[in-house]
Amino acid sequence: MAQTTATPSQTSGDLFSVIATDAPSSLYSRMSSKTTVPSNVSKTSPIQTNNFWGNITLGDQSSYIYTHPYVVWKSNINNFTGLAISHQTDAQKVWGPINDHNAPNYFYSAAGIMSMVLGSSDFDNGFSMSLTNLKKMSIDVTLKSNNSNAGSMTSSILQGMGMVTAVYNNLIPQIHSQVGFQSVSGDTAPKAGIDKYKIVLNDGSVWFMYITFTNNQSCQFALKDSSHIIASNSINNCWIQICCGDFSDYDKAAGCYPIACTLSGSTSNNIGTYSFNYTTAGSGTTPLIYAFPHHVQSFTSKTSSKKSNASINDTVHGQLIGYLTNVFEMSENLPTSANMDPWSSISSFKNASYTQDELNSIRNVAVKDITNDVANLSNVNSMYYSGKILDKFAYVLYVLYYVLKDEDLTKQFLVKMKDAMNRFTGNRQIFPLCYETSWGGICSTGGMSNGDTGVDFGNSAYNDHHFHYGYHIHAAAIIAKIDQLVGDGSWLNNNKTWVNNLVRDVANPSESDNYFPIFRSYDFFIGHSFAHGITVYADGKDEESSSEDYNFNYAMKIWAQVIGDKQMENRANLILAITSRSMNNYMLYMSNNSSIPSRFVPNLVSGIKFENKIEHTTYFGTNAEYVHGIHMLPITPISSFIRKPDFVKEEWESYLINKINGVNSGWKSILMLNVALYDPNTAYNFFNTNNFNYGYLDDGLTLTWALAYSAGVRN
């Protein structure tokens, strides 16, 4: 039986304590990205690179921010200047052609349709924009008139905000719509000091506008023409709120709006609780916040009791439900039993164990795998591919010690692994890493000097850091652990800072760390990471490989166990639990999925998930094994926690079983080891054959691990 040290049960308070505050290693040269931070950005700390509001810090700063349910952006179009707002219903979505799943190959919303624009007649001579209070979960956008009186409006942008709010200071408000106004009528004021208007657009959509006055001010709004509503006079320190949908509970939130959100969390044994805590402004204390399906599924009674009568279509996350609350509190079951050993969520699984025949088969291939020159094989010009190579052999090292219990072979191979890894911890690889000073992060120097985002999948532009560094972190964890057991035990102390720097780059949990943004990749509101960095995408941030996303968090969990950082381990467990729920709503689709549009569900997996579009494809091809396999690799002990046996069975039996005979590349091993997540006997028998075709192995998988995993979870 394979045995590693399990994590004891424990209770933890706030999970977001700092990892370290020291400057990144002097091994990293200091370089600046060719993509500079705009001068109108108030930079008080490292800037988010993969965040939901990222588009507004890039290019001409007029691309879209997806707040869910609204899309907002800066509009410079004549007669429609200001903060543009869009919302499209499911009926307005654009659908792609039908594929071999008998489902549309993609869908998206037409994000650039200006339903409403919060503007001012004072912007007719132009305006400037400034960005302040850049936080992980919010940003303040200020538009300032070029007129001599220099009035301005400021909007706090947060995910899930039920109303788009702008605070007007010495401006004459003007509301625009490219869709056009069908009617505008005064409605019953919900509270003293707040006026309400009902607006019907030419597409039939119903919107409401609330104006909160201060200091006994007032003004009236009237149609100027079919595309513009003009106010009678200037207002100061008053705010206008725009919302879509005919729901009476908007009245309860009118006047109050969120300006920031902080994250808190704790764990107790195998239960994790986390909260979004909203700071509000305006009148009253209760805003309306829209929740995603995965939020609703995990709400505690503290939040579930605050449900409103508002509901609205989102771009790609189904039906959102409004809650009248300033706290979203959610609870999840943590994967505390999934650690370093092969693990499965199959109900009959207890612990990884092996027969003598299985051990013999594993030994026969392991003695071949350890003859590889790992240092030479991993000496490539890519943090991604080098990480995959290092990590696949780290799993062999694990098997030698924990499964085969062969200390002599473990010691021999440990030398090879340390030699290979030391090239990277010494920053002597083909493209060394640097500390990028403009945005704040550890990047590959490949492509940095000329801004070439094609090098190593755009690592220098903050693309895919969690994909790349997760492999290195897990490999380092295995090496450090085995070195403690059979080596001289010094490797961990010598290299802990190097590994922690990679963790901090991707998943720094604290504003006390002045060198990295908080959680560069992971979006706690959406429940998974974004892979896309500092280039503009009109459809928002995106992610292709769900499995390499959670592989980073699994790597962080194992590394935390090795270094004894319980807060990091609990944090990783919580992120994995949130990710499992989110991905099984929006990226992995069983036939009973009710979160995304039903006609897309037969695709079984998302392919590339953007904030505004899901396309059943990959960036490198449309083959079925690519589109499905990129959501599988690498198969690790945490895979079964995300990819549930029922899902894997449905995906295999309804689709992939009919494709597998036509796959004769390394993807074949990925698809077949994935079968072990519901039918480990079939998977084991595929790999446990005489004269196995090594051409079927993915470049990040060894036959040793394929046999050890599938055998370990089948007994």
Residue 389 domain-assigned (yes or no): no
Q: Which tens digits make up the pLDDT trace of 447-506?
A: 999 999 999 999 999 999 999 999 999 999 999 999 999 999 999 999 999 999 999 999
| Average pLDDT value for residue range 552-579 | 98
Among 333, 350, 368, the domain-final residue is 333
Residues forming a β-bridge with 142: 130, 154
3-state DSSP helix/strand/coil % of the chain, to nearest 5:
30, 25, 45
User: Computed from CA positions of residues 528, 533, 534, 538, in that sequence, does the dihedral angle turn out positive or negative?
Assistant: negative
The half-sphere exposure of 497 on its side-chain side, counting CA atoms within 13 A, is 11
Examine the pLDDT at 4 and tell me if it is beyond 70: no
CA 265 from chain center: how many Å? 18
- The answer on 221 and 129 residing in a single domain is yes
Look up the CATH number of the domain holding residue 226.
Answer: 2.70.98.30
| Average pLDDT value for residue range 390-397 | 99
Local structure of 161: helix, strand or coil: strand
Among 216, 233, 255, the domain-final residue is 255
Q: Which tens digits make up the pLDDT trace of 174-192?
A: 999 999 999 999 999 999 9
- The answer on 193 and 46 residing in a single domain is yes
The half-sphere exposure of 22 on its side-chain side, counting CA atoms within 13 A, is 7
Q: How far apart are CA 8 and CA 514, in angstroms?
A: 32
Residue 326 domain-assigned (yes or no): yes
pLDDT value of residue 148: 83
Q: How far apart are CA 46 and CA 514, in angstroms?
A: 7
- Identify whether 544 is a catalytic site residue: yes
Examine the pLDDT at 677 and tell me if it is beyond 60: yes
- Residues near 680 by beta carbon (within 8 Å), at least 6 away in sequence: 344, 346, 710, 711, 713, 714
| Average pLDDT value for residue range 266-292 | 96
Examine the pLDDT at 29 and tell me if it is beyond 80: yes
Q: Which tens digits make up the pLDDT trace of 121-174?
A: 999 999 999 999 999 999 999 999 999 888 999 999 999 999 999 999 999 999
Residue 655 domain-assigned (yes or no): no
Examine the pLDDT at 669 and tell me if it is beyond 60: yes
- The answer on 268 and 172 residing in a single domain is no
**DSSP element (H, E) containing 319:** strand 319-324
Which pair of structure tokens corresponds to residue 531?
Answer: 């892979």
- The answer on 162 and 304 residing in a single domain is no
pLDDT value of residue 149: 82
pLDDT value of residue 36: 96
Residue 368's φ and ψ, nearest 5 degrees, are: -80, -40
Planar angle of CA 585, 590, 592, nearest 5 degrees: 85
User: Quick one: which of 667, 665, 675 has its CA closest to 695?
Assistant: 665
- The answer on 272 and 245 residing in a single domain is no
Q: Going by DSSP bridges, is the β-strand pair 433-436/29-31 parallel, antiparallel, or unpaired?
A: parallel
pLDDT value of residue 285: 85
- Identify whether 548 is a catalytic site residue: yes
Catalytic residue of the set 436, 548, 565, 650: 548
Residue 394 domain-assigned (yes or no): no
Residue 136 domain-assigned (yes or no): yes
Q: Provide the pLDDT confidence category of residue 10 given band limits of 50, 70 and 90.
A: very low
| Average pLDDT value for residue range 6-24 | 73
| Average pLDDT value for residue range 311-338 | 98
Q: String of b and e for 536-554 (b: at least 16 CB within 10 Å)?
A: bbebbbbbbbbbbbbbbbb
- The answer on 120 and 61 residing in a single domain is yes
DSSP codes, 206-240: EEEEEEE--TT----EEEEETTEEEESS-EEEEEE
pLDDT value of residue 713: 98
Examine the pLDDT at 31 and tell me if it is beyond 70: yes
Residue 654 domain-assigned (yes or no): no
pLDDT value of residue 13: 60
- The answer on 146 and 94 residing in a single domain is yes
Q: Provide the pLDDT confidence category of residue 233 given band limits of 50, 70 and 90.
A: very high
Residue 21's φ and ψ, nearest 5 degrees, are: -125, 0
- The answer on 184 and 66 residing in a single domain is yes
User: Quick one: which of 525, 530, 15 has its CA closest to 294?
Assistant: 525
What's the burial of 530, exposed, middle or buried (CB within 10 Å: 0-12/13-18/19+)? Answer: buried
Q: Which tens digits make up the pLDDT trace of 327-343?
A: 999 999 999 999 999 99
- The answer on 78 and 199 residing in a single domain is yes
Catalytic residue of the set 544, 611, 650, 679: 544
- Identify whether 464 is a catalytic site residue: yes
* Residue with token string 């869910």: 68
CA 646 from chain center: how many Å? 24
Q: What is the CA radius of gyration of the chain?
A: 27
Average pLDDT value for the chain: 96
Local structure of 420: helix, strand or coil: helix
| Average pLDDT value for residue range 413-427 | 98
Among 333, 348, 371, the domain-final residue is 333
What distance, in Å, lies between the first and last C-alpha atoms of the chain? Answer: 10
Answer with the residue of higher pLDDT: 14 or 277.
277
Which pair of structure tokens corresponds to residue 500?
Answer: 């922690």
DSSP codes, 570-585: HHHHHHHHHHHHHHHH
pLDDT value of residue 598: 97
SS (H, E, C) 671-699: HHHHHCCCCHHHHHHHHCCCCCCHHHCCC
- The answer on 246 and 275 residing in a single domain is no
- The answer on 224 and 153 residing in a single domain is yes
Residue 370 domain-assigned (yes or no): no
Examine the pLDDT at 423 and tell me if it is beyond 80: yes
Residue 582 domain-assigned (yes or no): no
Q: Going by DSSP bridges, is the β-strand pair 319-324/327-333 parallel, antiparallel, or unpaired?
A: unpaired
**Contact in structure between 635 and 641 (CB atoms under 8 Å):** no
Catalytic residue of the set 314, 464, 539, 651: 464
CA 78 from chain center: how many Å? 36
Question: Residue 365: how many CB atoms within 10 A of its CB?
Answer: 22
User: Quick one: which of 143, 16, 19 has its CA closest to 74?
Assistant: 143
- The answer on 156 and 68 residing in a single domain is yes
Local structure of 8: helix, strand or coil: coil
Domain span including residue 71: 38-255
Count of structural domains within the chain: 2
Residues in the chain: 715
